[in-house]
Amino acid sequence: MLRLMCVTFAACIVLCSPVSAQNTVTTCGVVQQSDIGRSDSTFLGLETCYGCHYSGFPKDGAGERVGIRENDHWIRKDEVRIWLGKDETWGNDKHAQAYTALLSATGRKIGTAMGLHDIHRDKRCLACHTAYPIHEMKTVDGQTLGLIQKELYEKDLRLTVGVSCEGCHGAAGDWESQHASKEKWRFLEPEKKCEKGFYDVRSVISRTKLCLSCHLGNAAQGRVLTHEMYAAGHPPLPAFEIETFENQMPKHWRHLSEKAELLDEFLARTGNKFNPDALHHTKSLLVAALVSRSESLRLTADLADLAEGAVSEQIPKPRWPDFAQFDCYACHHDLKTESWRQTAQHSGNPGRPVLIPWPAALAQLAAIRIPDSDEAARDFAAVRSATLMSPFGDREMLIKAARASADSSDKLALALDSQELTMADGTVILEQITEMAATETLDYDSARQLVWAFIVVQQELKSCGEQGASSQLVDEELTSVKQMFVLKLKDGRPAKHQIPGAAEESDVKEVDLKTVLPPIANYDAIAFQKVFAELRQLHQKPQEVAP
């Protein structure tokens, strides 16, 4: 067993900084999928944020010399610069390249295959590649369903700059006046901000729902990746784990532990609590795992339910079943006479595909931390039964079971978010991840979830204490596995694209399927099990505790 001992309080308050300090859970702005992007506020565009959030605070210190504290370190004020990749320290944020992906050779090939020669004007694509709320997009072009008028997209930066500030923080139209005032905005309750179109990104539940609206799908917003799009060449969406993905982003925010001068005032005025010794990142990944399961099930139910009608005037009704909601690699895999797939322990009738499996992997580990989670387990089992009732499932049963299970997962997420996880909890969670990886036959994306979670928990424990002699051995054992599962969003094929209205071409990194797909094709579940079986034995050996 890994035995850890916490180091000094001073080190821990810096290294174990939380993503959120809220002791009450707020999911305003993204309580339901249909809420995302649905506010009375207007989506104004990057220009609104650029003035205050590009250049940063004055670097000469002239104001401070006369007692004017220009920078109180609450925010950076160079967020847009980091997002654009103008700071070599951080590199480019992939969100800033979201629109240019539609202009790439791959994007154009997808459009041609789907009969869409102007894919960069199609609302189904722009819904995710700009995060511009689909209900705000202007009139369609002639008789072509869902295309933005050429005159609009060539002049409207809201469509061409990618996923910018408002895509993740909310439409700025109604909160700009208060937002400009630090005193009014900084200590305003999340519910009040939500009334003005703001998303509560401090809440991991709210933040995860928002991220998943694109990284998984959102039927109400027309953010749905279909089997048709995959067949046309759209790169596969990687499984989502919020801590791993956030670590890939150029950091344009400050954690509360980095706002030491104002932390006490913030906690006093907002009523929040902050324990620097708690494992905030570990809790975030587990809470987000439950949210991932609930959102995946809710998306499935929504698409099955909407099969009788259109999502909106701009988005046609979805087909059901849409194969993209089921396990892709149940069909798309190499055929071998001796394959781990033949030994996989799946109940039900052979040949009937199951729903995308990865959202359930970490959710299982998260759920067992909540007492009386049996009801949620039963609800999830009902989803599987409905799926296997007939090929691609009994639609009516699946809708009902998926909605019930999604609600159960949301309740567990709320309960877990109200807890604090200790160092001892982290050690147990590592052991549970290892046990699951060593004993269950997992698909690639589910295995990847466990590896990512193991790394997040292990790193947070390391940052707050000392591991025993097994720490280096664990790292060595995981080296080969990490290479197969590592997330490299910043890597890819270099290219240049001309954004409409821009004075010069932009350097971008495009998805390179030659590097993305081989790890999936080469994955062997039995070999993966063996690695973690060895890790499990390593954990069980007594280790000396550092003095």
Rounded distance, CA 531 to CA 431, Å?
A: 14
The residue to which tokens 């054992």 are assigned: 477
Please choose, from the candidates 262, 335, 301, 253, the residue with its C-alpha nearest in 3D space to the C-alpha of residue 20: 253
Most confident of the ranges 32-36, 221-225, 417-421, 496-500:
417-421
Name the band, by pLDDT with cuts 50, 70 and 90, for residue 503: confident
Overall average pLDDT of the 279-296 stretch: 96
Contact at 8 Å (CB) between 232 and 110?
yes
- Predicted local distance difference test score (pLDDT) of residue 172: 80
pLDDT of residue 20: 38
**The tokens 């821009």 sit on which residue?**
502
Strands annotated E in 382-526: 465-466, 493-497, 506-510
- Encode pLDDT of 181-217 as tens digits: 656 677 778 887 777 778 888 889 999 999 999 999 9
Kind and range of the H or E run holding 298: helix 280-305
Q: Which residues contact 371 (CB under 8 A, 6 or more apart)?
A: none
In the predicted structure, residue 259 carries a pLDDT above the cut 90: no
Confidence class of residue 473 from pLDDT cuts 50, 70 and 90? low
Task: Quickly list DSSP for 186-217.
Answer: HTS-HHHHHHTT---TTSHHHHHHHHHHHHT-
pLDDT at 227: 93
- For residue 539, the surrounding DSSP H or E stretch is helix 525-540
Tokens of 126: 């722009």
The whole-angstrom separation of Cα 201 and Cα 169 is: 7
Residue that the structure tokens 């895509």 belong to: 167
- The per-residue pLDDT for 38 is 45
Q: For the segment 126-137, what is each residue's pLDDT rounded down to a tens digit? A: 889 988 887 777
What is the model's pLDDT at position 472?
Answer: 63
**Does the pLDDT at position 343 exceed 80?**
no
Residue length of the chain: 547
Reported as a pLDDT band with limits 50, 70 and 90, residue 89 is: low
* CA dist 138 → 106, 123, 132, 133 (Å): 26, 10, 11, 11
Cα dihedral 464, 476, 368, 255, rounded to 10, equals 40
